[in-house]
């Protein structure tokens, strides 16, 4: 069973892919590396073999050269737009099965933008890439190999890391509701509690005996939503006014592993993989849109309050907090303002950071820029034509919605993607802007995907 799958295009990167394969085989062993049709026996169904091989690998390396996006077939059509294209099939299978995909940029290639990719492959634009430069190929490749060594090292399977003080009893009684649990309130974030002292921060008590996530009351008002600078992407337009007629509450931070573990214990749900980055006060990752909905429903049952995902307009309203700049703090990313690629923090481009590690916005919210992408309620559309102006979620499918490509039937029923906001630890500065938006399928999970909740107020 090969642990590493090399995905490349023969018309684009045959030489660097071959060199990379040799280095990988030397480091990890020949049987641990699969390089598409070179390993397929005569007479085998190549589509079936590729899907099976991708499905059991731990990591897929997508080797991307300068013509990877634009490569055309003999008819002049772009290869990536063909549902039977090998490269498209390989990457789509890995993304669908939540297998780590690492874009490997060679020959001076740039990471593909979401708008350059077919729908199935757009999550690839959110994967942190590694560059193998022509002048430092072997050194850069060595760094990649060291990263893979960490990824492929099996982590011991342990029970949920729930501290003794979090639960008075570890087991759920089979005949009724779970026993009461006690969760310690999180410590205030270093010297930043005073910055939110003027805002109504509250936590609802849960039936299991602990407290829910910290929530902040957001006042009613109106704002301009979208690409206010005129330099953003087409899906951030047209700029439109939105009226938030009633106050609502939204999470001070993204939901943390600490909070998810209470849910997991009481509702008998799994705890997602933390990639070895630790849990506790870090945002929960590897959660789908459906997982977030389930958490909100459980929290609503525990508190008697209506918790839910925020609408996209509620999210941007709260993230902007009355500002109209690219980021709530100004028009430049600056240094150590957020956890994103090239943002100057100790976690940038590497992993998630503990929630509350950066200054709050003017309304007291933290981590709205970077750390993890955050699911919201809305269905993703490629622009704001016809978007709600009352703060509600956009639940209708795009006009003329069709689906091309190989995709599970459940996604056809669900009808496309849900919006994600905020950017992540692996996202470039442009993705951390308050207006930036992207979409991901409801069943997708990843090390850069999390969520924060909203609550309807009386």
Residue 37 has pLDDT above 80, yes or no: no
Is 110 a domain residue?
A: yes
* Digit-coded pLDDT (tens) for 46-99: 777 777 778 778 899 999 999 999 999 889 999 999 988 889 989 988 888 888
Q: Are residues 107 and 192 part of one domain?
A: no
Q: Are residues 198 and 142 part of one domain?
A: no
φ and ψ at residue 256, rounded to 5 degrees: -100, 165
* Percentage above 90 pLDDT, the chain: 61
Q: Are residues 344 and 198 part of one domain?
A: yes
Q: Are residues 306 and 366 part of one domain?
A: yes
Q: Are residues 256 and 137 part of one domain?
A: no
Give residue 138's pLDDT.
73
* Digit-coded pLDDT (tens) for 167-225: 223 223 333 333 333 333 333 333 233 344 457 899 999 999 999 999 999 999 999 99
Return the closest-CA partner of residue 262 out of 158, 175, 163.
163
The H-or-E segment that residue 117 falls in is: none
Domain that holds residue 132: 4-152
Is 160 a domain residue?
A: no
Q: What is the number of domains present in the chain?
A: 2
Is 162 a domain residue?
A: no
**Mean pLDDT across the chain, nearest whole number?**
84
CATH number at residue 457: 3.90.1580.10
Q: Which residue has the higher pLDDT, 35 or 456?
A: 456
* Digit-coded pLDDT (tens) for 408-419: 333 333 456 899
Q: Are residues 29 and 86 part of one domain?
A: yes
Q: Are residues 228 and 119 part of one domain?
A: no
Long-range interactions of 390-393: CB distance < 8 A, separation 24+? 390/242, 390/243, 390/245, 391/242, 391/243, 391/244, 391/245, 391/311, 391/313, 391/314, 391/317, 392/311, 392/313, 393/309, 393/311, 393/312
Give residue 270's pLDDT.
93
Q: Which residue has the higher pLDDT, 353 or 198?
A: 353
* Digit-coded pLDDT (tens) for 258-304: 999 999 999 999 999 999 999 999 999 999 999 999 999 999 999 99
Give residue 410's pLDDT.
35
Q: Are residues 308 and 188 part of one domain?
A: yes
| Overall average pLDDT of the 11-32 stretch | 83
Would you give the distance in Å from CA 53 to the centre of its chain? 25
Give residue 360's pLDDT.
96
Residues forming a β-bridge with 132: 106
Q: In the 8-state DSSP scheme, what is residue 61?
A: E
Half-sphere exposure of 273 (CA within 13 A, CB side): 15
Q: Are residues 301 and 179 part of one domain?
A: yes
């Amino acid at each position: 069973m090969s642990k590493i799958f090399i995905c490349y295009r023969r018309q684009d990167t045959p030489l660097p892919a071959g060199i990379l394969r040799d280095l990988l085989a030397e480091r990890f062993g020949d049987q641990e590396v699969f390089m598409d049709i070179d390993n397929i026996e005569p007479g085998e169904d190549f589509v079936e073999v590729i899907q099976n091989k991708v499905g059991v690998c731990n990591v897929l390396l997508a080797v991307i050269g300068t013509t990877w996006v634009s490569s055309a077939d003999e008819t002049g059509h772009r290869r990536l737009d063909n549902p039977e294209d090998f490269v498209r099939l390989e990457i789509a299978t890995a993304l669908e099965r939540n297998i780590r995909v690492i874009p490997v940029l060679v020959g001076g290639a740039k990471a593909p933008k979401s708008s350059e990719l077919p729908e199935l492959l757009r999550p690839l634009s959110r994967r942190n890439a590694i560059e193998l430069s022509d002048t430092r190929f072997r050194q850069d490749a060595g760094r990649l190999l060291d990263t893979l060594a960490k990824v492929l090292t099996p982590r011991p399977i342990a029970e949920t890391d729930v501290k003794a003080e979090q639960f008075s009893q570890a087991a759920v009684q089979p005949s009724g509701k779970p026993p009461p649990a006690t969760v310690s309130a999180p410590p205030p974030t270093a010297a930043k509690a005073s910055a939110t002292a003027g805002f109504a921060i509250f936590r609802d008590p849960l039936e299991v005996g602990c407290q829910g996530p910290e929530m902040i009351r957001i006042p009613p008002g109106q704002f301009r939503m979208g690409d206010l600078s005129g330099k953003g992407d087409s899906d951030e337009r047209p700029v439109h006014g939105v009226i938030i007629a009633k106050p609502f509450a939204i999470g001070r931070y993204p939901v943390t592993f600490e909070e998810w573990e209470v849910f997991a214990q009481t509702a008998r749900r799994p705890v997602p993989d933390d990639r070895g980055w630790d849990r506790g006060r870090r945002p929960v990752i590897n959660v789908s849109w459906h997982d977030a909905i389930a958490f909100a429903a459980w929290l609503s049952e525990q508190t008697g309050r209506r918790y839910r995902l925020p609408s996209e307009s509620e999210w941007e309203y709260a993230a902007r907090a009355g500002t109209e700049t690219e980021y709530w703090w100004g028009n430049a990313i600056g240094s150590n303002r957020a956890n994103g690629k090239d943002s100057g923090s100790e976690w940038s481009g590497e992993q998630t950071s503990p929630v509350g590690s950066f200054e709050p916005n003017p309304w007291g919210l933290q981590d709205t820029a970077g750390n993890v992408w955050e699911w919201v309620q809305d269905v993703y559309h490629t622009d704001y034509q016809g978007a709600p102006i009352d703060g509600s979620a956009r639940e209708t499918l795009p006009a003329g919605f069709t689906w091309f490509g190989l995709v599970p039937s459940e996604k056809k029923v669900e009808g496309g993607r849900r919006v994600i906001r905020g950017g992540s630890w692996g996202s470039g500065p442009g993705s951390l802007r308050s207006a930036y938006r992207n979409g991901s399928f409801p069943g997708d999970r990843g090390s850069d995907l999390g969520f924060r909740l909203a609550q309807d107020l009386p």
